[in-house]
Structure 1
Amino acid sequence: MIQTLSLRQKINQFLHILFPILVTQIALSAITFFDTNMSGKFGTADLAGVAIGTSLWIPIQTGLSGILIGITPIVSHLLGSKKEKDVAYQVMQGIWLSLIVSALVLLIGFILLSPILNFMNLENSVRDIAFRFLGAISFGILPLFGYTVLRSCIDALGQTRVSMFITLIALPVNVGLNYLLIFGHFGFPRMGGVGAGVASAITYWVIFAIALLFIYRAEPFINLRLFRDFHSLSLRSIKELLIIGVPIGFSIFFETAVFSAVTLLMSRFDTMTIAAHQAAINFASTLYMIPLSICMSLTILVGFEMGSGRLKDARQYGWLGIGLAAILSLATALVLLFAGSHVASLYSADPQVISLIQHFLIYAIFFQISDAIATPTQGVLRGYKDVNPSFIICFVAYWIIGLPTGYLLATYTNLGAYGYWIGLITGLAIGAVLLLSRLITVQRRYAAKDKAQPLHQL
């Protein structure tokens, strides 16, 4: 990354960082998409089982990955302040933290998975598929969290094309394994939805291995001497990572977990409704990769400018990203409005399921717009290392307002399952307004400092 002196240069650098991240995120989302889609083609029970398993796994994965991506603003600030020699040490501490996180997830999952699934009112076939799907994915937890740290470092260096290349290799691996393991082609076992879990676990090992190879042997990583020297675990450094990463992780967890909570609460509805809901959420999540990619790009760029002390440039990048996300959200809303039936047919051949999916997608239009504001705003705040208020806002908006509102509407009105979606829309909209207000407050505080900066920094 380089210092930019004009708006045009900022747009070029922003797009240079953004495009590979967007491709990467879409490809990663496509892994979940194909897991869900191909399981649905195998059978409705498999689609529902993978839906339940995914609803339990995704909040944990994204929340804990959020803690680990706390390394991104740390590395960005080190690069901006010309302290490249400290990057290798910080990345190694991130790897230590990923090992601790992986061990905790495996232990807790071993103890609590069966009781949680038993507590839910699921058909036996759906419960069995969900249990075995999650059991299969557990074999890929260690490399997945390790890759999260490596990718955060790669992206913070501005080498987002490397992450894109790794993920584009992983996608056909995952789809090919799904084809073999879900449907049992070419002599492989016919595992149904469980095969999607096995395929994902293997894919996680593949991307981790490729990332290690790049970091150890390719430029510019060689100059940073990543993994050339051994650095023992430092509680002080782990604490620094947690101070930044835990609020980020909780913010992501609160947002993703509320969607999963809705899916779990909807277990009282029939299998067809669960499957349709999950299909609609899956496609909406794919569209969500656009504001999420902008969010990640803004964390890198704002963090780099703040590390360099260029406060005005940090502000400009922030509003540039949020404006672009808002414009693109209108385009995604049009896709959902006019192509809903075509999208629904991607997930099922059952006319009733297609009709249900199409109805759910109409509601998804509204929270796409809120996501376009809230998610990039969080990215800007992370670049400022202002992370604690965001997770408080997300908790209040999604869990104190959004989820209870959805439960009341679904339980005490004739909206049924759609009531939960209205609750989600309410929570997301309130969260977007509060996060934007927080950003304005932070930028005004820095604006006062900006006035005292030398003229060449303005």
Structure 2
Amino acid sequence: MNATATTPTLGIGHHFRRTVQLALPVMAARAGLVIMLSVNAIFCGWQGKEVLAAFGAAAVPQVTLMVVGVGLLIGTIILTAQADGAGNHGACGRALAGGLVIAAGFGTFCAALLLPAEYWLDLLGQPVETIPAASDALRILGYSLPAILMFTACSFFLEGINRPLPGMIATLAANLLNLLLNWVFVLGNLGAPEMGAAGSALATSITRFFMLAGMLGYILTMPGRDRYLRPGWLRVDAATLRRLIVLGLPLAFAIGAETGCFNFMVVMAGWLGTAELATMYAAINYTSFVYMLTLGLSTAASVRVGNAIGRRNAGDIRRAGWIAVGLEFAVMAAIATLTIFLAPRIASLYSQDPAVLGLLVPALNLTALLFLVDGLQGVLMGALRGTADTLVPTAVYIVSFAFVGIPMGYFLGYQAGMGVPALIWALVAALALATLGLGARFHWVSRRQEGLWR
């Protein structure tokens, strides 16, 4: 490492302030995405456990593909943050163009893949009575996958240049639209038919296209646009596209392993019965909402560490990462405590069915422990993304979720008949293992100065 190329190490207070300033709007934006699914679940739950179970069955494969797509796009924020930290603003625009191409291509592929929805739901062994309604909802959600992934690419670009507020505003506005459309299409207001799970999917799909339009409109008119979007920025640069794929592909596998593990728990709950499926989907939906707060600090860690890489400052890499980890622990401990106290009220938002409530309240109490390990591993993964370290974290995820979480859930939750609590304990075990592996990896990488500047 060339010492003359580095910048002075910034103080702990500076890292704390900048991490919080970046994390808070990203938290709001990411939470807004899951609030949409939570609103959908609540509206469907009001229609009965069968409608909630149908929407849950539809959400599992769609969310899994969407999250894999988000993993493919994470290279956008890595390249943007590192280029912005180095003052290479033109490279930021090229990263955005490459991200949009990947998002549109992968999203369209997934939409086509989900068209035979009945086949996939039957293959996953979902309750027969849920498949007709769930298949309609799954196809409708699939149509909007290109829109939500392109929106994500735009959000990653803006977060990489430290402008997270537009994504937050767009997501919060979208939630109002999604709420209104759920009221119209799920409950059958303003002359619309009462569409149940399919109506909720339609509400979210329409909302996603509005989100994309709003974000593209902002980027094309934002202050300082010409600094980032230089003439010809939309021409896809082959080298940038390759770099995005090299960074994103391992992360897509990693996030796919994690999300696949969570969603497979929902699938296995469906093997146990409709009430168990509705319960597990509600518990995972609530967990996903809380995890969006983690994604705020995870994204902040990625950007702050990536900026430090751009400045060639090893001390700032360590400080940025571990400060984000400490903040995450404090936030998740507070959320876990609140969840334990409010579990009955939270459960009542999702369902009034006695069979579901009897399972969901204890399940929510268990998720309090899950939040802690889930949050820590998420922020550590974000810090490692900022260093562009992807292969080893991917291996950690695959071992934790594919070789520990899923088998443990299958044998204890399904084969041994221990049900929803065992499925959640399997997730806790997998996340704890991931936390230990990623923590050790970041400790090693952040102290290995050579090679971090590539």
Compute the TM-score of the two structures, normalised by the length of structure 1.
Answer: 0.93
1:116 aligns with 2:144: no
Distance 1:398 1:141 in 2: 25
Distance 1:121 1:333 in 2: 32
Deviations 1:418-449 (A, max 9, x none): 22222111111111111111111112212x79
Matched with 2:291 is 288
Deviations 1:179-211 (A, max 9, x none): 101011011121111111111111111110001
Matched with 1:50 is 55
Residue 207 to residue 93, structure 1, CA distance change in 2 (3 Å): same
In structure 1, the residue corresponding to 2:114 is in which secondary structure? Answer: helix
In structure 2, the residue corresponding to 1:190 is in which secondary structure? Answer: coil
In structure 2, the residue corresponding to 1:70 is in which secondary structure? Answer: helix
Matched with 1:456 is none
Distance 2:155 2:294 in 1: 18
Residue 357 to residue 440, structure 1, CA distance change in 2 (3 Å): same
Residue 170 to residue 222, structure 1, CA distance change in 2 (3 Å): farther
In structure 2, the residue corresponding to 1:229 is in which secondary structure? Answer: coil
Distance 1:29 1:65 in 2: 14
Identity within the alignment, %: 22
Q: 1:185 aligns with which of 177, 184, 189?
A: 189
Distance 1:412 1:241 in 2: 41
Q: CA deviation at 1:229?
A: 2.8
Greater displacement, 394-403 / 91-100: 91-100
Residue 379 to residue 192, structure 1, CA distance change in 2 (3 Å): same
Does the 8 Å CA contact 2:118/2:135 hold for their aligned counterparts?
Answer: yes
Q: 1:404 aligns with which of 401, 404, 407?
A: 407
Distance 1:260 1:312 in 2: 38
Q: 2:312 aligns with which of 288, 309, 312?
A: 309
Distance 1:198 1:92 in 2: 28
1:100-139, aligned counterparts within 5 Å? 100-110=105-115, 113-139=117-143
Deviations 1:123-153 (A, max 9, x none): 4441111111111112212211111111111
1:95 aligned partner, one-letter code: L
Q: CA deviation at 1:3?
A: 8.6
Does the 8 Å CA contact 1:216/1:222 hold for their aligned counterparts?
Answer: no
Q: 2:347 aligns with which of 329, 344, 347?
A: 344
Does the 8 Å CA contact 2:74/2:247 hold for their aligned counterparts?
Answer: no
Q: CA deviation at 1:415?
A: 1.9
Deviations 1:268-294 (A, max 9, x none): 212111111111111111111122211
Q: CA deviation at 1:338?
A: 1.5
2:215 aligned partner, one-letter code: A
1:377-392, aligned counterparts within 5 Å? 377-392=380-395
2:267 aligned partner, one-letter code: L
2:394 aligned partner, one-letter code: F
Q: 1:91 aligns with which of 96, 99, 106?
A: 96
Distance 1:184 1:280 in 2: 27
Matched with 2:68 is 63
2:105 aligned partner, one-letter code: I
Q: CA deviation at 1:230?
A: 5.7
Deviations 1:212-246 (A, max 9, x none): 111011213343226x5364344433221111111
Distance 2:100 2:307 in 1: 22
Matched with 2:3 is none
1:436 aligns with 2:423: no
Q: 2:204 aligns with which of 200, 205, 212?
A: 200
Distance 1:247 1:300 in 2: 19
1:171 aligned partner, one-letter code: N
Greater displacement, 409-418 / 330-339: 409-418
Does the 8 Å CA contact 2:80/2:92 hold for their aligned counterparts?
Answer: yes
Matched with 1:453 is none
1:272 aligns with 2:271: no
Distance 1:302 1:55 in 2: 32
Q: CA deviation at 1:160?
A: 0.7
Does the 8 Å CA contact 2:95/2:157 hold for their aligned counterparts?
Answer: no
Residue 257 to residue 412, structure 1, CA distance change in 2 (3 Å): closer
Deviations 1:145-190 (A, max 9, x none): 1111111111111001111111111110111111101011011121
Distance 1:222 1:360 in 2: 51
Does the 8 Å CA contact 1:288/1:368 hold for their aligned counterparts?
Answer: yes
Gapped regions of structure 1 (runs ≥ 5): 451-458
Does the 8 Å CA contact 1:42/1:193 hold for their aligned counterparts?
Answer: no
1:300 aligns with 2:310: no
Q: CA deviation at 1:68?
A: 1.1
2:175 aligned partner, one-letter code: L
Compute the TM-score of the two structures, normalised by the length of structure 2.
Answer: 0.94
2:404 aligned partner, one-letter code: I
Distance 2:22 2:328 in 1: 15
Distance 1:353 1:412 in 2: 21
Gapped regions of structure 2 (runs ≥ 5): 1-6
Q: Could you say what the CA RMSD is over the residues aligned between the two structures, in angstroms?
A: 1.9
